[in-house]
Amino acid sequence: MTTSAFEPPPGTQALLFDCDGTLVDTLSLYRVCWRQVFGRHGFDLTDEWFAQVVGLDVHAFVGQAFPDATVEWRDVVIAEGMAMFMDSTHLLEPLEHVVDVARAYHGRLPMAVVSSGLGHAVRETLAAVGIADLFDLVLALEDVEAGKPAPDGYLMAIEALGVDAAHCVAYEDSSTGMASARAAGISTVIDVRLPEA
């Protein structure tokens, strides 16, 4: 897939980017962290299971692994996993085929990050790879009523940027995220996943 496949069409008013797995290769690190934390609590996180739940917000993600646990107990597990991730953000790498688009349009089009991640982790992730200053707005899980696949984050970004959903482009890497963008009325949703080598 060439870079041109990621170019926004003429007439685009704003670019909206997911963070994890779209702008930054966080998923490998998250998988390692959650596998260790879940393993300590008796859940075997496989690659197949992880692939099925990618894109869910962290509360839904942990709930999938521990459906019978109390909210308070899940919050403890979330804190463990996020602490391990935050200690390791120096290992993160940008996904250059998407970041190149953001760099090319910085200052030319309004741009936002729309993530179902926790705000402190999203901001640290963007900062860790040196791209935090590219975006006019960063929205995370705490900013919305419901995370993806609900359209809340995209609707909020569209309103804040003062643009028309039909003339926005969303960049996503998961079916959950793509469903969220489409539910917000965004007609151009670009799947940023590169084919397996």
Q: How far does Cα 105 stand from its chain's mean position?
A: 19
Residue 1 has pLDDT above 60, yes or no: no
Checking if the pLDDT of 4 tops 90, the result is no
Residue 9 clears pLDDT 90, i.e. is over it: yes
Selected catalytic residue, list 18, 20, 57, 173: 18
Q: Please give the single-letter amino acid code of residue 78.
A: I
In the chain, the percentage of residues whose pLDDT exceeds 90 is: 91
**pLDDT higher than threshold 60 for residue 99:** yes
Q: List, for residues 35-87, the tens digit of each pLDDT value.
A: 999 999 999 999 999 999 988 889 999 999 999 999 999 999 999 999 999 99
Residue with tokens 């403890």: 76
Mean pLDDT over each residue of the chain, to the nearest integer: 94
Predicted local confidence at residue 12, as pLDDT: 97
- Cis check: omega of the bond before 10, within 30 degrees of 0: no
From CA 107, how far away is CA 40, in angstroms rounded? 46
Mean pLDDT of 149-166: 97
Residue 100 is a catalytic residue = no
pLDDT band per the 50, 70, 90 thresholds, residue 3 = low
- CB of 78 closer than 8 Å to CB of 58: yes
Burial of 176: CB neighbours in 10 Å, binned 0-12, 13-18, 19+:
buried
Could you give the residue ranges of the DSSP H alpha helices within 46-190? 47-53, 58-65, 71-86, 96-105, 119-128, 152-161, 175-183
Q: How many helices (H) and strands (E) does the chain have?
A: 8, 5
pLDDT at 2: 47
**Within 10 A of 76 (CB to CB), how many other CB atoms are there?**
13
The strands making up 168-172's β-sheet, listed across from edge to edge, are 137-139, 111-114, 14-17, 168-172, 188-191
